[in-house]
A and B are shown apart, each in its own frame.
Chain A
Amino acid sequence: MRSVQSPFRGLPDVTGVSEDALGEAVPRALSGAAPQEASLSDDALLVLYANGDSRAAAELMQRLAPRSFGVAMRVLGNAAEAEDVTQEAMMRLWRMAPDWEPGQAKVSTWLYRVVMNLCIDLKRRQRGGHIDLDAIPEPPDPARSAPEHLQELARQDALQQALMQLPERQRQAVVLRHIEELTNPEISGIMEISVEAVESLTARGKRTLAKILASRREELGYSDV
């Protein structure tokens, strides 16, 4: 077993705790994180997790789940589906932890690839006639009634609507390149295509997006350039 000293002495141990208790423990666990955790790489955290340190899981989730969820949201355009994909991707991360070889690849790159593949699988199943009741869009949050929030939502919604008009691979490439800000070689590794193909996908996707959004620029409150 690989050994890495745990820096999480100040955090509660959540191993074997019920889901309800975990729901309460999540914010507490994350807010009480030890200062050493920021200096640890994803690799080291994964080794710690594999060695039985449950608090390493909390730190990994804090780092990786938002990225997974954000990408899944942008690619799928549905919160419920994005949640399912994120949970499954993180589950695969936990399963893979004991076999992970530190230094061979970035954990985040591996996770992005899993998320993208899960998104593709989900879309394929849907095209095959599967109807997901959870795929119904969530109602708007009544708490966000301020005009700026509405405009922000409208902008995000406009971007999301425009993204959903792109072909699936273009959408993935654009999200990874311009929202996740990954490099073309990283996207190439995630999507398992050449760097030239990535450049082509992002260029075409961006051009299409620009044309779609240009027509809605004034209503979304963007100033003229």
Chain B
Amino acid sequence: MSDKEKALIAALNGSQVASTGASLSEASSELDAHLDAHLDEVFATARQTRPEVPVSLQAAILADAALLQKTRVEVLTCQTAGQASGQITGQITGQLRARQSAALRLWRQFAAAVGGWPALGGMAAASLAGLWIGLAPPSFLPDPVERYAAFSTGSQLMTDLGYDVSLLMGDEVFE
């Protein structure tokens, strides 16, 4: 502590105010100015001598940066691949939809040509009635199924055929 500061502090304590001729407030502000100037010098030195970052810390910081960056690049790559996959899926879906829409458009053109939905309903009803009559005909009509079954039974066919043949042969023998 300098002599001047010691004198100023003494002045602040009131013992030598009269001898220095300084008022209490003047002594206080002068002391503050001295201390501030000293502190500014200390701060200036501190600014000029900043601590150096150890090389090991620099390496650790760069390693962290590289690791996070690598992870992020991998994630971005996966996302990009996912987007590409989504694009291909979208293309396939689009093609299918285009085909479906073409078939639908053709069907609508056919329905319009035959007279619209009422006409299609009539055609469907007639088709079903024809199928039903074919499978289960009324009693006054011959049953095609029974006739088919009769002709398709081999043993009966052979018996009938044998009877006819024997008759024919017998006639010829006895004649």
Contact = CB atoms under 8 A, between A and B. Distances in A.
Contacts of B60: 19, 87
A66 to B, nearest CB: 5
Nearest to B66: A15
Nearest to A211: B35
B38 A65 contact: no
B2 A87 contact: no
Interface string A77-105: 00100110011001100110010000000
A54 B68 CA distance: 10
Interface stretch (B44-52, B84-92, B94-102, B104-112): B44-52
Contact of B65 (A49, A178, A179): A49
A27 B62 CA distance: 12
Interface string B14-55: 000000000000000000101111110111011101111111
Contact of A22 (B43, B49, B62): B62
B66 A54 contact: yes
Interface residues of A, number: 57
A14 B52 CA distance: 22
9 A-B pairs closest in CB distance: A210-B35, A57-B65, A23-B59, A224-B2, A22-B59, A178-B43, A94-B68, A210-B39, A26-B58
Interface of A is mostly: helix
B57 A87 contact: yes
B78 interface: no
A52 B54 contact: no
A181 interface: yes
Interface in A186-210: 206-207, 209-210
B1 A69 contact: no
Of A57, A207, A210, A224, chain B has the most CB atoms within 10 Å of the CB of: A210
B42 A69 contact: no
Nearest to A57: B65
A206 B42 CA distance: 11
Please tell me the size bucket of the interface on B.
35 or more
Contacts of A23: 55-56, 58-59
Interface SS of chain B: helix
Contact of B41 (A70, A90, A209, A222): A222
Contacts, number: 138
A95 B35 contact: no
B10 interface: no
A44 interface: no
B84 to A, nearest CB: 16
Interface stretch (B69-77, B118-126, B139-147): B69-77
Contacts of B1: 214-215, 217-218
A39 B33 CA distance: 40
A69 B69 CA distance: 23
Given A1-B76, A86-B57, 19 more contacts: A54-B65, A54-B66, A61-B65, A65-B53, A66-B53, A70-B50, A70-B51, A82-B51, A83-B57, A87-B61, A87-B64, A155-B45, A210-B39, A213-B42, A217-B1, A217-B2, A217-B38, A224-B2, A224-B4
B1 to A, nearest CB: 6
Nearest to A70: B50
Contact of B72 (A98, A152, A217, A224): A98
Nearest to A89: B61
